[in-house]
Amino acid sequence: MSSARVRRAVVFVALCLVGVTTVYPLIFMALNSMRTSQAYEVSPYGLPTRYSLDNFRALFNQVPFLSSLLHSVIVVVPAVVLATLFSALAAFVFTKVPIRLGNVLFWVMLTIMFMPGIVVLIPLYVEIAHLGLATNFTPAILVYTAINIPYGTYLLRSIFRGIPDAVIDAARVDGAGWLKIFARVVLPMGRAGVMTVGILTFLNIWNELFISVVLLHTSSTQMMTPTLAQLSGRYSNNIPVIMTGLLLGSIPTLLVYFVTARVFIRGMLSGAIR
């Protein structure tokens, strides 16, 4: 066998090993969601003996899954749309519109991107409480939007840079205003990149714990991720139930990923993120 072939075989085996470590935890979750606690104690590796939905039923009765899912949707969807839209507008101005203040504002944003969330959360938390908005979703939506704008702008800036100026100039010559150029030229051309940024933002916000725990900590407004975080505390002795909860909790983001994978990966590989 030629050395190239050997190498390809080795690579394939290595990839398979990595693949196993990636996928096995998910399979573990899924299998154990249908087992009982006693069965798990005997052997964590075992297969479920019956396809029982007991864990699911117990979980739904005791943990507010659906309501926290709803709360997450209420907060995350607007935040993603707004953050992506505003970032796109800002990135467009920074790259294609000849304007002076762009650079200063951009560097300010970059510095903020590196900011630990806690630095802003302490005063925001108190101000929001003082305004009586502690059980309102709007502050959380706006905070999530604001926090994701610097990163989104940074990414979209390099994406829009990739759009040739010639196209913009041509549109200008045709008499199009900036807004039209943005909506009809830049957005469609950078569509893959914008979608990718949108999905990244979605993942960032949906999976985030700190802000959601601090800003929406009452049981009437709790989001999905904090609900999941409490599972291992509440059911510390019943691993299969925890696995069931984690499995259910994984579904939203996995679903989004599966549906958008092709566009998303293409967007990521297009060189925007570097």
Partner 1 sequence: MRERKAARFRWNLFPYLAVLPAAALVIILMVLPIGETIYRSFTNWDGLTSNLIGLENFRLIFQNPVIIQVFVNSAIFLISVPLILAASVVVAVLVYERVLGWRVFRFLFFIPAVLSPVIVGALFSTFFLPSGLVDKALSPVGLSSYPWLSHPWTARAVVILALVWTSFGFGMVVVLSAMSTIDPALYDAAAIDGASWWRRLWSITVPMISGSLQFLSVINVIYTFTSLFSFVYVITAGGPGFATTTVDYFTYITSFENGQFGYGAALAVLLFLVVLVLTIVQVKLFPRREVQGS
Partner 2 sequence: MPRRRLRTAAAGVLATVLVTAVAACSSGSSGSSGAGSKPTITIWNDALAVGSCGVPAADSFLTRGVNLFLKTNPGFNVKISQVACDASPAFNTLLKSSEVAGTTPDIAQLYVGGQVIQNGKYLVPLNNYLSPSYINSLTGWKYVTDGYQSKPNGNIYAVPYGAGYWYFVYYNKALFARAGITNPQPATWADLIAIAKKLKAKGITPFDIGEKEGYVGAWTQDALISALVGDAGVLKMYSGAQSLDSPALTQPYQAWHQLFADGLTNSDAPSLTYSSGVAQFAAGKAAMNMTGGFFNSQFIKGLGSNVGLFPIPVLPGSQFPKSLSGGPNNAYSVFRSSKYVADDIKLIKFLTTLPVQELSVNELGQLPNNVSFTPSAAFQAQQPLLTAQYKYIQVDHYALGEAFDNIMPGTICSYWYQTNSAVFGGTLSASSAASSMQSQMKSYLATAASG
List interacting residues with partner 2 (CB under 8 A).
67, 71, 74-75, 77-78, 81-82, 85, 125-126, 129-130, 132, 134-138, 141, 183-184, 187-188, 217-221, 230, 233-234, 236-237
Q: Which two tokens stand for residue 181?
A: 């150029």
**DSSP characters for 146-200?**
HHHHHHHHHHHHHHHHTS-HHHHHHHHHTT--HHHIIIIIIHHHTHHHHHHHHHH
Per-position b or e across 121-158, b if 16+ CB within 10 A of its CB: beebbeebeeeeeeeebebbbebbbbbbbbbbbbbbbb
Give whichever of 64 and 102 is closer to partner 2, judged by the CB atom. 64
Q: Residue 168, interface with partner 1 (CB under 8 A)?
A: no
Q: Residue 138, interface with partner 1 (CB under 8 A)?
A: no
Write out the H or E segment, with its range, that includes residue 268: none
Shortest CB 81 distance to partner 2, Å: 5
Shortest CB 161 distance to partner 2, Å: 22
Amino acid at 209: L
Give whichever of 85 and 133 is closer to partner 1, judged by the CB atom. 85
Shortest CB 112 distance to partner 1, Å: 5
Give whichever of 55 and 72 is closer to partner 2, judged by the CB atom. 72
Q: Residue 257, interface with partner 1 (CB under 8 A)?
A: yes
Shortest CB 221 distance to partner 2, Å: 4
Q: Residue 28, interface with partner 1 (CB under 8 A)?
A: yes
Among 116, 132, 174, 220, binds partner 1 (CB under 8 A): 116
Binding partner of residue 231 among partner 1, partner 2, none, CB under 5 to 8 Å per kind?
Answer: partner 1
Shortest CB 165 distance to partner 2, Å: 20
CA dist 237 and 24 (Å) reads 22
Closest listed residue to residue 73, CA positions, set 206, 220, 238: 206
CA dist 109 and 53 (Å) reads 48
Q: Residue 246, interface with partner 1 (CB under 8 A)?
A: yes
Please work out, in degrees rounded to the nearest 5, the angle formed at the alpha carbon of residue 96 by the alpha carbons of 270 and 187: 55
Q: Residue 249, interface with partner 1 (CB under 8 A)?
A: yes
Binding partner of residue 71 among partner 1, partner 2, none, CB under 5 to 8 Å per kind?
Answer: partner 2
Q: Which two tokens stand for residue 258?
A: 């599966």
Q: Which two tokens stand for residue 218?
A: 């009452």
Binding partner of residue 156 among partner 1, partner 2, none, CB under 5 to 8 Å per kind?
Answer: none
Q: Residue 134, interface with partner 1 (CB under 8 A)?
A: no
Q: How buried is 73 (Cβ within 10 angstroms: 0-12 exposed, 13-18 middle, 19+ buried)?
A: middle
